[in-house]
Amino acid sequence: MKVGSLYELHPAFTGLRNVSKRWGKPALYLGKDPIHRSDGVTVVNHKFLVGGTVLLADRTFLNSLREINNEN
């Protein structure tokens, strides 16, 4: 994942209605967004801007996204 890059939901996941509804637009990757819990564990989420809304995704969801290449 590269900060500033655009990603889209992989076609294999577009059939999942709840996921597709929220992630159906291009997603701008904003970077990692770690959460430091009181028990000392750090959970690393990833932040995206999708349709004007900031969404968080964990590392397991990253496999369902693919980079949009803007090659002309």
For the stretch 27-30, contacts whose Cβ atoms lie closer than 8 Å and that sit 24 or more positions apart, written own/partner, are: 27/55, 27/65, 28/4, 29/1, 29/2, 29/3, 29/4, 29/5, 30/3, 30/54
Band (pLDDT 50/70/90 cuts) for residue 61 is: confident
In CATH terms, the fold of domain 6-67 is Thrombin, subunit H (2.40.10)
pLDDT of 39 higher than 90 = yes
**Residue 2's pLDDT is what?**
92
pTM: 0.80
- The answer to whether residues 28 and 48 touch, using CB atoms and an 8 Å cutoff, is yes
